[in-house]
Amino acid sequence: MTEHPDCALVRQGYDAFSRGDMEALSQLMTSDVTHHVPGEHPLAGHHKGREAVLRLYGRLAEETQGTMRVDLEGAFADGRGHVMSVHRIRADRGNMGLEQHGGIFFTVIGGKISDLDECVQDIDETNRFWS
């Protein structure tokens, strides 16, 4: 079975994120990409534009002192420019740890990621971790 091109794109994004390769990651996104982060904490909100999204990712690494790991468990395409991913996140921040499932609903336009709408397994735990 051949992987759908949109799923392959998302998989490349997860791989670049995991390696900390922001240059490769930036090439996979539109210039006006938006990453929507759920919750009520300092990193939550709508991060619009490639530079803002990359700053968010840098902040995730900084806040967790490089301990954040996101393991892609599955990616599912609808064939109309959307991919739904499921992943497992692990991170340490100060004296707190975070380990839970999450997912992202991606919109792909012209072979690039234009929107990431993130969901988490436990919003309260996520808020406590990032606050």
Tell me what pLDDT residue 1 has: 75
Q: What is the pLDDT of residue 27?
A: 98
Over its length of 131 residues, how does the chain's per-residue pLDDT go in tens digits? 789 999 999 999 999 999 999 999 999 999 999 999 999 999 999 999 999 999 999 999 999 999 999 999 999 999 999 999 999 999 999 999 999 999 999 999 999 999 999 999 999 999 999 99
pLDDT of residue 108: 98
DSSP string, 57-100: HHHHHHHTTT--EEEEEEEEE-SSSEEEEEEEEEEEETTEEEEE
- Rounded to whole angstroms, the Cα distance separating 40 from 127 reads 6
Q: Which residues contact 108 (CB under 8 A, 6 or more apart)?
A: 6, 9, 10, 81, 82, 83, 114
Domain map (residue ranges) of the chain: 5-130
Q: Retrieve residue 46's tokens.
A: 């709508």
Q: In the CATH scheme, what architecture does the domain 5-130 have?
A: Roll (3.10)
